[in-house]
Amino acid sequence: MNARGWAVLLTFCAAGVPAVADLVSITPVRDNTLYEHPSGTLSNGAGLYVFAGTTDQSAGFARRRALLAFDVASAIPPGSVVTDAHLILHCSRTVVGFRTHGLHLVTANWGSSTSNAGGQEGAGGPAVQGDATWLHTFYNRNFWSAPGGDFDPVPSSTVAVGGLGFYTVPSTPRMVADVQGWVDNPAGNFGWILLGDEATLRTAKRFDSRENSPSFRPTLVVTFTPSERCCFPDGSCAAASQSMCDAAGGTPLPESTVCGGDADGDGVDLACGDQCPADPGKLQPGLCGCGTSEVDTDSDGTPDCLDQCPTDPGKVSPGQCGCGTSDVDSDAGPGCDGVPDCLDACPDDCRKTQPGVCGCGADDSADTDDDGVPDCLDQCPGVSDAIFPAPQCQHAIPAVSQWGLLILALALLSAGKLRALDRTNRERAC
């Protein structure tokens, strides 16, 4: 609510759309008094007061009627719906008690120029071109269709005015309709004319005009539902003027916006950014989409909807070891087995995943003497067991390669054959 006293009333319009009623106080943009005179030469366009009722002058000179016009179109947005309108007047001079005054809708345009009656202003002053007078809408060129002004004979509202002070012309359906008509058709706004008791003399009341002190000026107070829409900070959408929306810290929306789209009851209207209108727990799809929670059970930064291991904070997919078991590879390194510990029977042996015949930490492929028996099981790893079996291997010649063994065997065979040939030759010689 701002300094001018905006009143915020939460209501519902006929369509069920939440609305925020706005309230505005408007002072006249022009006012004047019609002083009864057969020549129509009196006015008071710039005076401090307006009058309604009769003076003690003779017939044909006694009646006074106050004209008031308010620029509601500048204060109320187009398309707004007026729900209440009342007029506050300040009576600053009177010589009689309570008299009923009627507020009538004026049906022709009229002027308020620079004429100023001076003094107590009850007698009026010389009309100036453009002034309204008893005969003229605009002195001295345009005339009322009847002396005393053109207006609806049925009052829009009435008020009894007694002594000095403030009086409120109460809101009525006719008065609301008058203001609504001015909102919808500003060009047809000719204001009201206030008529006092004209049945007898000396009934006139003097009211302060728009030229008077601000606190005493006539004030039209209008309550209306604006046509603009606003997204308020709490996520609700309602009709509100831009000033109301700004004052509340909201976001103005186009007039075409349709409020009332909170089907999921989360308090945020579809027009205000609820991208999940059927999900009361979400306003945006997020990572999981509307209808699915973004909860992250294991707090690993990945919501359960995308986490294949929703209770394992260290994993978002089972991997090789499954949820709840780390895929760590303790013996990882260049040229190593690349198998995680959960599948590695030798998790600290870079080159083995199973114990084999030698066990973890021992090389099954090491066979120094190339005898087909790995060193870890070979009692003579430096000598071929096929030629020098244990326990004689400690006295045997050093192990040689398979090619070496072949050459040695051939050499021994050749040597045997030579000895046999030599023995045969000696026997023949004998």
In a shared domain, residues 208 and 349: no
Q: Which two tokens stand for residue 344?
A: 């590695």
The pLDDT assigned to 391 comes to: 58
The answer to whether position 420 is within a domain reads no
According to DSSP, the β-strands at 125-126 and 49-54 are: unpaired
In a shared domain, residues 39 and 158: yes
From residue 63, alpha-carbon distances to 51, 82, 136, 380 in Å are 9, 33, 15, 144
Q: Which domain holds residue 343?
A: 328-365
The answer to whether position 25 is within a domain reads yes
The pLDDT assigned to 244 comes to: 78
The CA angle 361-362-367, to the nearest 5 degrees, is: 165
322: left (phi over 0), alpha (psi -120 to 50) or beta: left
CA-nearest of 59, 64, 62, 60 to 34 is: 64
The pLDDT assigned to 4 comes to: 28
Among the candidates 189, 205, 225, a domain finishes at: 225
The answer to whether position 231 is within a domain reads no
Among the candidates 225, 259, 276, a domain finishes at: 225
In a shared domain, residues 205 and 349: no
* Alpha carbons within 13 A on the beta-carbon side of 88: 14
52 backbone dihedrals φ, ψ, rounded to 5°: -145, 135
The CA angle 95-204-178, to the nearest 5 degrees, is: 135
The answer to whether position 56 is within a domain reads yes
193 in Cβ contact with 104 (< 8 Å): yes
Spell out, as residue ranges, where the chain has pLDDT lower than 50.
Answer: 1-17, 387, 395-397, 399-400
- Name the domain count of the chain: 2
The answer to whether position 143 is within a domain reads yes
The pLDDT assigned to 378 comes to: 84
Number of residues written out for the chain? 430
